[in-house]
Amino acid sequence: MSSVTSAGHVTELTMAEAAEPPKTDLRGLRGLRLLLRSQRALVFISAASSVLATALGLVPFFCVAKMATAIYAAPPRLGEVRDLTFVALGAVAARYLAASLSTMVAHVAAFRVLHDLRLRIANKLGDVPLAFFATRTGGEIKRTMMDDVDQIESFVAHHFPDAAAAVAVPIVTAIALLGVDWRMALASIAMAPLAFAAMAVAMRDLDAAHKKWFELQDRTNNSVLEYFRGIHVIKTFGLTAKTFGDLSRSIEDGLAWMVGFMRTNGRGYGVFGALIGSSLVVLMPIGGWLHLRGSLSLGDLVLFLILGPQLLTSLLRLMFAFGNVQRIEEGNARITSILMSPDLAGPSANAQPPRDDGIVFRDVRFRYDEGSKEALAGVTFDMRAGTVTALVGPSGAGKTTIARLVPRLWEPSGGMISIGGVDIRDIPLDVLLGRISVVFQDVFLFHGTVRENLLLAKRDATDEELQRACAAARADTFIRGLPNGYETLLGERGTRLSGGEKQRLSIARALLKDAPILILDEATAFADAENEALIQEALAELCRQRTVLVIAHRLSTIASADQIVVLRDGRVEDRGEHAELIERCSLYHAMWGDHSASLDWALDAHSSEPIVEVVS
């Protein structure tokens, strides 16, 4: 991958470097704070309201303790009891108002964060080089964009306000209780050291356990996606989710992880919960003893018996919040690693617009990662504007790699590709892609209508433009035969269409875009005889007056190309016209011979053995 320095010079980066996560550690609370800064005002209001609601929730306990003193006074102070009742009821009402405000504001902030993060991730995925996706599976990216962002939403909406209250209220309550009686205040937290010791046992090796869990989740996500993509093959071989290897294993491994985790850590969490709620075991005997000695009033004793247990119980919410911070730590790191990944290099300050649509490859090199063999090893050839250049060669020669370098789906690790005399890295990406149409061998159609899939090429296209492009692509007839014509829902990946129909829709999109440079990657590979004839007619229309780079395994389709580039092992073996290459290039001559023989291939009516018929 290339990057542009402040001086405008282009430096080369390997694909592995382009996909490497940022060096800055963005895990934990610091990374979360960076992600939440756009909504920090709402998050603060939510946390403050949660603290207020929790504090108001303690007021009735305080009132009950004071009521007990007033009732057992001689004579009973019933007026004070009445007043305290109204105070308790007011505190309860105010508590629910504050809690409602906290919940509402927290959810608004959480969904704004969710919306913002998903948009930022989606936009970022459009800006990074294809090398980024080579080091991440579809399951990992899906999990980051959906599950990891959902966890942050849940934390902001629920756990963060609770955590703020769980920190602030016990501190304020402890200070207040210390002012009443320091001995009973210490007794209120006497079980805390034992509880935290149990928690420490429960949380041993927690980072390693979480890492293992996240790996299992990634495996399961990838296996599920693979299962659905290959469902037709799975059914053909009579497999099910239980018998489909990695999916079954990943689910079973996830269950085994959960059983092992609860066996190892579950007891510690149980002991922690029991100890946190057992303050009365200490408060009751110590408080009774102090009261009998006359050093603790009955009112203060009742106050500690009621408020003391609340001091530690609120720490449970803090532990849950802390546990959620640990759970989202890995997801937070994955989100920030995507958002901080380097974009495709932008143009230099003195870049000029291309003078024409001719393409030049100069000593172009490319490798998929640092340790792999070069897929392209010094490829050099020119494509004049308005001409057709065909790439041929054995499988793995580098044909598709070359085709994907031109629109910068990949970045060369060395050399230069230029259009109209301008390095493609110095052409703004939107301008570059606006000049190029691509028809790949594997056509991708989105879940939507025929019209919506066509409008990807030109969003403001009129009905007349759509129909003209489809007619030229030989697609208008079959589209009108669909149940709802151009408004027919195609289904996921266009599953309701044949391979030839998908290909003609792809050609129609390219015609609608009307870009001056066209890249064709074996556009008739999956077509039957009838569809291939229609696709060839459509391609003839599409190639007219354009600079065309075509990859073809059926050599008869490119024999009339202006230039044929023969590739072997990532290098240019020879280039020229068909007749020239037949005479001087042994590799092309052999390929043409094999192609001609394959056209004459037939199946003997009385045997399953292939035979070669001599055609006069």
CATH number of the domain within which 104 lies: 1.20.1560.10
Per residue in 534-557, pLDDT (tens digit) is 667 777 777 778 898 988 777 777
354 in any annotated domain = no
3-class secondary structure for 233-252?
HHHHCCCCCCCCHHHHHHHH
Give the tens place of pLDDT for each residue, 33-53: 666 677 888 888 988 898 888
The verdict on residue 335 lying in a domain is: yes
Give the DSSP letter string of 479-512.
Answer: HHTSTTGGG-B--GGGTTS-HHHHHHHHHHHHHH
Stretch (H or E) spanning 599? helix 586-599
Q: Does the residue 145 lie in any domain?
A: yes
- Exposed, middle or buried by CB within 10 Å (0-12, 13-18, 19+), for 595? middle
**Of 42-51, 303-312, 490-499, 593-602, which one has max mean pLDDT?**
42-51
State the residue for tokens 């030989």.
Answer: 474
Cβ atoms of residues 534 and 506 within 8 Å? no
In a domain, 222, yes or no: no
Q: Identify which of 94, 91, 112 has the alpha carbon closest to the alpha carbon of residue 102.
A: 94
For residue 22 the two structure tokens come to 């940022």
Instruction: Name the one residue in this structure whose structure tokens are 């490119």.
Output: 558
% pLDDT > 90, the chain: 7
pLDDT band at 25 (very low <50, low <70, confident <90, very high): very low
Model confidence at 327: pLDDT above 80: no
The residue-averaged pLDDT of 560-573 equals 90
Q: What is the band of 326 on the pLDDT scale with cuts at 50, 70, 90?
A: low
Band of pLDDT at residue 609, cut at 50, 70 and 90: very low
Strongest mean pLDDT among 6-20, 48-62, 414-428: 414-428
Q: Is residue 126 part of a domain?
A: yes
**573 and 543 Cβ atoms separated by less than 8 Å:** no
Query: What pLDDT is recorded for position 419?
Result: 92
Number of domains into which the chain is organized: 1
Task: Give the tens place of pLDDT for each residue, 256-287.
Answer: 777 777 777 667 667 777 777 677 788 888 88
For the ranges 128-137, 562-571, 596-605, the lowest mean pLDDT is seen at: 596-605
Answer yes or no: are the C-beta atoms of 193 and 220 closer than 8 Å.
no
- Residue 146 within any structural domain of the chain: yes
Give 537's DSSP letter.
H
- Give the span between the Cα atoms of 93 and 60, in whole angstroms: 11
Domain region containing 41: 22-180+327-340
Whether 547 is covered by a domain: the verdict is no
Kind and range of the H or E run holding 362: strand 359-366
Let me know if residue 132 belongs to a domain.
yes
Q: Is the pLDDT of residue 24 over 70?
A: no
Q: What gap in Å lies between CA 390 and CA 562, rounded to an integer?
A: 8
What was the pLDDT predicted at 132? 74
Q: What count of other Cβ atoms lies within 10 Å of the Cβ of residue 487? A: 11
- For residues 599 and 197, what is the distance between their CA atoms, to the nearest angstrom? 78
Burial-class residue 6 by CB neighbours within 10 Å (0-12, 13-18, 19+): exposed
Tens digits of per-residue pLDDT, 139-189?
677 777 887 888 778 778 877 887 788 778 777 778 878 888 888 888 887
The torsion angles phi and psi of 137, rounded to 5 degrees, stand at: -85, 165
Cα separation, 612 vs 606, in Å, equals 14
pLDDT of 239 reads: 60
Range with lowest mean pLDDT among 24-28, 64-68, 290-294? 24-28
